[in-house]
Amino acid sequence: MMKTYFSKMNSPIGELLLVGDGTSLTQLLMLNQKYYGSETQEDWQRDDTIFRAAREQLEAYFAGELRAFDLPLAPSGTAFQQKVWQALRDIPYAQTESYGALAKRIDSPKASRAVGMANGHNPISIIVPCHRVIGANGNLTGYGGGIERKRWLLEHEGYLKKSGPRVTLF
């Protein structure tokens, strides 16, 4: 049986939970994230050293010094979800794409709702940038971590103008 390791780190959008198998990152979760609990399991082992590269890259991202992550990832999901999550990684920093455009790009033009569901179930937030998917009308629609976190991430990347005073998210 494969061991599961975890680490926690603070960020501008609240505490993050990093989960992995010792080789790859399998989850990056936020507190109160939809579809996923942000609590560790009893049989998981804390090991911050396994996640050193992920933590360093996330810190650099939040400091505005990193635009693309380079980490081994192993999210668990269906073949369709995997296809969507891989396509998310192709959305450039500070740019967005609509659910419909993403569906067309993965050769499933009528599957924008399914793309939305797969996007919402992305277990590796931020690094697999599901926050960069918006509604066809340009609105910030659903985000598993909450719409305020999505807004913060898009402002941080420079896609959106900063909307005044920051709100504490955690």
SS3 assignment for 44-100: CEECHHHHHHHHHHHHHHHCCCCCCCCCCECCCCCHHHHHHHHHHCCCCCCCCEEHH
* Whole-Å CA distances, 116 to 33, 58, 81, 95, 144: 16, 25, 10, 17, 11
Q: Which residues are catalytically annotated?
A: 130
**Which residue's entry shows tokens 């936020």?**
30
